[in-house]
């Protein structure tokens, strides 16, 4: 058993104004809720050591391992379109970076106590958001969608005060990095061109070694986000708080707050209780991504030489988003429909399916799965005829098409009512539903028979219509 970790902390080598160095605040009685063993192994961590008292103390922030250089990162951001010049890690601390099987990863504790960026908050997290992020981020990973990961959830033995007194918890989050569009905005707003330069070089080296300079970085982020948002759309995922500080420049889904997978499909679906105007509704996500990337582009212009030419190049790079997004969207939805080739009318064919789904209030996940098994309900009869004709035109073998569809249309996603159920049970001391949900949702394509009830859409009284930030 060996808790020694080989850290290599590149962010901590950046200038001091990028962060504030401090250790996590210890908690009263750390207890391990769940450890993600496959992820731990891929980071070359000793699983037994992580489960030991010292390991759990580390995951709770009570023990800073040798080689860690704990810090809270500075960033700014637009929240619901309003500019906030200083945000930063108010309840998270980066322990450091490790070089795992898949490359460099941040190891961060979320809910680890106050930092100089906490402003009004207590720096803590309660059990609900920690368990939600654990399940949903790992489900996203299992669906093949770029995301931060959950290494562990630990209960603190302390209460946090929200709308009620709630049990506290800490999530260990693993990410390619925690650099956000808002990190660039932080330096741009301070006209700190040297800071921007250093951050650009850091991100290029870390995430986009084949890209060069600020324009190369912008183009790479545009491409990564176009892919990411198309992937979200293909599984009915709504992030809920696409503020610029919640957009990772590495192209991972980050900061799971009031996020949700849709049950009944509607393009204007919103879950977040704080998103009153539907700014971050399902179908708004691609446009919001463009808006966020435009803020990112604005930050990079001071690094791009002569101003007029820089603005022109940056604008062109941002304008590439819709086409890249549309291509990624079509690629994903074609596979969902079992199509191999492409036809002019495919976008319209997909659109007409979604129209019927919206009119019927059909469940997003269940409908695509029903299509996979060619057992759509009566209202889809006309559309099914068009779809079969389209398959026939490309000479598709229906059973081969269905095989491909089974790998693009998940059976099981973390449904809101199941997540809420797991959280309520955990608050009452019963973690079994959470563990079951966490085990089930990492097998989205072919769940075990015993997990199949978790795939069912909510019954009428079960549907969760709103999710809360609950930070």
For ligand AMP, the binding residue among 185, 285, 441, 471 (CB under 6 A) is: 471
What span, in angstroms and rounded, lies between the C-alpha atoms of 93 and 181?
19
For Mg ion, the binding residue among 73, 246, 272, 409 (CB under 5 A) is: 246
Burial class (CB in 10 A: 0-12, 13-18, 19+), 14: middle
Interface segment toward Mg ion; rule CB under 5 A; list 8-16, 238-246, 271-279, 421-429? 238-246
Scan residues 250-289 and list those touching ligand AMP (CB under 6 A): 255, 257
The nearer residue to ligand AMP, 165 or 381, going by C-beta atoms, is: 165
Burial class (CB in 10 A: 0-12, 13-18, 19+), 93: buried
Q: Which sign does the torsion angle of CA 111, 113, 114, 120 carry?
A: positive
The nearer residue to ligand AMP, 123 or 414, going by C-beta atoms, is: 123
Q: Which helix (H) or strand (E) holds 221?
A: helix 213-234
Cβ 267 to ligand AMP, closest distance in Å?
25
Scan residues 87-146 and list those touching ligand AMP (CB under 6 A): 87-91, 117-118, 121-124
The nearer residue to Mg ion, 160 or 241, going by C-beta atoms, is: 241
Which of ligand AMP, Mg ion, none has residue 87 at its interface (CB below 5 to 8 Å by kind)? ligand AMP
Please report how the helices 193-207 and 181-189 are oriented relative to each other, as an axis angle in degrees rounded to 10: 160
SS3 state at 11: helix
Cβ 22 to ligand AMP, closest distance in Å?
13
CA angle 256, 249, 203 (to 5 degrees): 135
Spell out where 18-142 has E strands.
Answer: 19-21, 31-35, 71-73, 77-79, 82-84, 92-100, 103-110, 125-126
The nearer residue to ligand AMP, 19 or 117, going by C-beta atoms, is: 117
Cβ 95 to ligand AMP, closest distance in Å?
16
Active-site residues: which are they? 245
Cβ 182 to ligand AMP, closest distance in Å?
9
Interface segment toward Mg ion; rule CB under 5 A; list 251-259, 272-280, 326-334, 447-455? 251-259
Scan residues 20-79 and list those touching ligand AMP (CB under 6 A): none
The distance from CA 374 to its chain's CA centroid, rounded to whole angstroms, is 31
Q: Which two tokens mark 162?
A: 């929200």
List interacting residues with ligand AMP (CB under 6 A): 87-91, 117-118, 121-124, 241, 245-246, 255, 257, 469, 471
List interacting residues with Mg ion (CB under 5 A): 246, 255
């Amino acid at each position: 058993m060996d808790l020694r970790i080989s850290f290599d902390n590149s962010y901590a080598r950046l200038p001091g104004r990028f962060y504030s160095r401090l250790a996590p605040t210890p908690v009263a009685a750390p207890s391990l809720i769940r450890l993600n063993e496959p992820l731990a192994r891929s980071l070359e961590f000793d699983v037994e050591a992580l489960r030991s008292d010292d390991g759990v103390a580390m995951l709770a922030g009570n023990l800073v391992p040798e080689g860690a250089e704990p810090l809270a990162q500075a960033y700014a951001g637009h929240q619901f379109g309003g500019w906030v010049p200083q945000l930063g890690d108010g309840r998270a601390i980066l322990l450091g970076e490790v070089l795992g099987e898949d490359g460099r990863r941040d190891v961060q504790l979320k809910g680890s106590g106050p930092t100089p960026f906490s402003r009004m908050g207590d720096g803590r997290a309660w059990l609900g958001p920690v368990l939600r992020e654990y399940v949903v981020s790992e489900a996203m990973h299992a669906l093949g969608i770029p995301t931060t990961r959950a290494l562990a959830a630990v209960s603190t033995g302390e209460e946090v005060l929200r709308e009620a007194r709630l049990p506290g918890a800490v999530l260990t989050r693993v990410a390619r990095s925690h650099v956000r569009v808002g990190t660039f905005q932080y330096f741009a707003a301070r006209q700190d061109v040297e800071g921007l330069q250093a951050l650009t070089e850091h991100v290029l080296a870390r995430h986009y070694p084949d890209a060069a300079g600020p324009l190369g970085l912008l183009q790479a982020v545009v491409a990564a986000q176009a892919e990411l948002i198309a992937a979200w759309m293909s599984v009915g995922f709504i992030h809920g708080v696409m503020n610029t500080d919640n957009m990772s420049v590495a192209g991972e889904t980050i900061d799971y707050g009031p996020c949700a997978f849709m049950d009944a499909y509607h393009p204007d679906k919103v879950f977040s209780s704080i998103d009153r105007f539907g700014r971050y509704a399902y179908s708004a996500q691609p446009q919001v991504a463009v808006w966020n990337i435009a803020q990112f582009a604005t930050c990079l212009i001071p690094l791009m030489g002569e101003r007029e030419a820089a603005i022109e190049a940056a604008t062109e790079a941002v304008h590439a988003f819709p086409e890249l997004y549309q291509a990624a969207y079509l690629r994903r939805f074609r596979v969902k429909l079992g199509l191999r080739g492409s036809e002019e009318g495919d976008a319209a064919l997909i659109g007409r399916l979604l129209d019927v789904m919206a009119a019927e209030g059909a469940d997003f996940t269940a409908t695509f799965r029903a299509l996979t098994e060619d057992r759509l309900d009566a209202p889809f009869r006309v559309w099914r005829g068009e779809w079969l004709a389209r398959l026939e035109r490309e000479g598709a073998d229906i059973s081969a098409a269905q095989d491909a569809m089974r790998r693009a249309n998940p059976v099981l996603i973390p449904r809101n009512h199941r997540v809420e159920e797991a959280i309520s049970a955990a608050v009452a001391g019963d973690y079994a539903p959470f563990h079951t949900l966490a085990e089930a949702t990492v097998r989205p394509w072919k769940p075990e028979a015993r997990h199949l009830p978790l795939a069912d859409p909510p019954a009428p009284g079960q549907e969760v219509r709103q999710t809360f930030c609950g930070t």
